[in-house]
Amino acid sequence: MDSNAVAGLSATEFDSLRDIAGAMIPADANLGAPGADDPAILDDIVKSVGRDLPLIRQALAEIAAKSSGAFAGLDRDKREALINGYYAGGGAAIVALGRVILSAYYRDDRVLLSLKHEARAPFPKGYTLEQGDWSLLEAVRKRPPLWRDDRKELAK
């Protein structure tokens, strides 16, 4: 069983998702960044749909309606304008679609490496956090108390 079938998307919906994801986050060869329509990333997106399936299907249907069923046939400027306009208008469906795409995209090894970010889970290695400049606290230490002492105020 293929992954889009597992997610509950039809073949037509899967094709739409691929076209839309590619328009939302296109590949950039100069940065070494794949597009969100990269097969591996798209597979991760589809596997991640889960509880958001009804919203994802709604978003795909609404984009299809806004493009008269010809999203893939629009030129690049029109595709991007349609997506940006739809997303700016808000709504749970397009927000869910964006979240699912971004969540999968920004955990792909190639994407993370293009950002000079380690491609791994945080645990068990963790990360290094430098101490920072604690001398900056000296100015604050010299301040008088800011908090109200109720015992003094109510004794007046």
Partner 1 sequence: MSGNERVDVLIIGSGASGAAVAWSLAETKMRILCLEQGDWMKSTDFPSTGRDWEARRYGDFDIFPNRRGRETDYPVNDDNSPMKVANFNGVGGGTVVYTAHWPRMHPSDFKVKSLDGLADDWPIDYWALERFYDENDRMMGVSGLAGDPGVPPRHPPMPPIPLGKTGTHYAKAMNKLGWHWWPSDTTIATAPYEGRAQCINLGHCTPGCAQGAKASTDITYWPLAIRAGVELRTRCRVREITTDGHDMAAGAIYYDADGTEHFQPAEVVIVACNGVGTPRLLLNSASAKFPNGLANSSGLVGKNLMLHPWPMISGYVAETLDGGRAPITNMWSKQFYETDLSRGFVRGYTLQFNRGMGPANQAITSAAAGQLPWGRDHHRVYREMFEHRVGIGVACEDLPEEHNRVTLDSMLKDSNGIPAPRIDYTINENTRRMMEHGIARAEEILTEAGATRLFCSRTALNSPGHLLGTARMGSDPERSVVNEWGRCHDVKNLFIVDGSIWVTGGGVNPTSTIQALALYVADQMKRRLANLFD
Considering the complex, state which of residue 70 and residue 151 has its C-beta at the smaller distance from partner 1: 151
DSSP 73: G
Query: Look-up: residue for tokens 């709504």?
Result: 91
Site for partner 1 in 72-131 (CB under 8 A): 76, 79-80, 83-84, 87-88, 95, 98-99, 102-107, 111-112, 115, 117, 120-131
Q: For residue 101, how far is the Cα from the chain centroid?
A: 6
Taken in order 89, 92, 97, 102, the sign of the CA dihedral is positive
Helix (H, G, I), strand (E, B) or coil at 28: strand
Shortest gap between Cβ of 93 and partner 1 (angstroms)? 14
Binding mask 32-61 toward partner 1 (x if CB under 8 A, else -) reads -x--------------x-xx----------
User: Least distance in Å: CB of 28 to partner 1?
Assistant: 5
